[in-house]
Structure 1
Amino acid sequence: MNIAQRFTAILATIMVFMLAGCAPTSDRQGTGEYIDDAVITSKVKAAFAADPTVKATEVQVETFKGTVQLSGFVESRESAQKAVQIARQVKGVTEVRNNTIVK
């Protein structure tokens, strides 16, 4: 095997390992999923900011593979339910987990 063939084989092996390292698993997102989740989080936060019943600064939003988790403090139970309803209406959301606490 000459040097060019060895170099090509080594380069191909490195590329395979790099691609496998980027693959998503059940507990880790792929690059595309990460971007999609960031967009979902931004849309949910924007929807909260547009709604007067939900204090957007007091409700934290995290998204993982389309599942939105809400945490933080809300003024009332109705406000918590409204936050869940708003989050469910955002395109791409598959599930909403409500971990908000009523003050």
Structure 2
Amino acid sequence: MATAVLALALGGLQGCAVTSGQSSVGQYVDDATITTRVKARMAEDPTVAAMRIKVETLKGEVQLSGFATSQAEKDKAGAIAAAVPDVKGVRNSIVVSKPDQ
């Protein structure tokens, strides 16, 4: 089952153009894999609202953006991203905003 899901996910990459600044299709696939892993780990963590955080990866550098309700949530999202294999660095641009009261 996992193999079928992976095949479908990678099959969707066929015909995709390599974005500006990326050196090869292989690098694009690696970056897409890192992004998927970061998002999956955030979704598994109950202290991080993964739906409010955008994850982008370029040449192994992960960019986080979006909103968190506390500094602890922002820090945890950064730590999760940094712990993913093949991540070379994390730019944590998440904005901490107070929830409506």
Instruction: Indicate the TM-score class for this superposition, using the shorter chain for normalisation.
Output: 0.7 to 0.9
The equivalent residue for 1:72 is: 66
2:21 aligned with 1:27: yes
The equivalent residue for 1:10 is: none
Higher helix proportion = 1
Secondary structure of 2:93's aligned partner: strand
| CA-CA distance at 1:30 after TM superposition | 0.9
Secondary structure of 1:61's aligned partner: strand
2:16 aligned with 1:48: no
**Percent identity between the two aligned chains:** 49
Aligned residues: 80
Question: In 1, are the aligned partners of 2:22 and 2:59 still within 8 Å (CA)?
Answer: no
Which whole-Å CA distance do the structure 1 matches of 2:23 and 2:72 have between them? 33
The equivalent residue for 1:36 is: 30
The equivalent residue for 1:62 is: 56
Question: In 1, are the aligned partners of 2:66 and 2:94 still within 8 Å (CA)?
Answer: yes
AA paired with 2:34?
I
2:92 aligned with 1:98: yes
Task: Name which of 78, 87, 99 aligns with 2:81.
Answer: 87
Q: TM-score, normalised by structure 2?
A: 0.75
Moved over 3 A (4+): none
Instruction: Give unmatched runs, 5+ long, in structure 1.
Output: 1-21
Instruction: Give unmatched runs, 5+ long, in structure 2.
Output: 1-16
Task: Supply the RMSD in Å over aligned alpha carbons.
Answer: 1.7
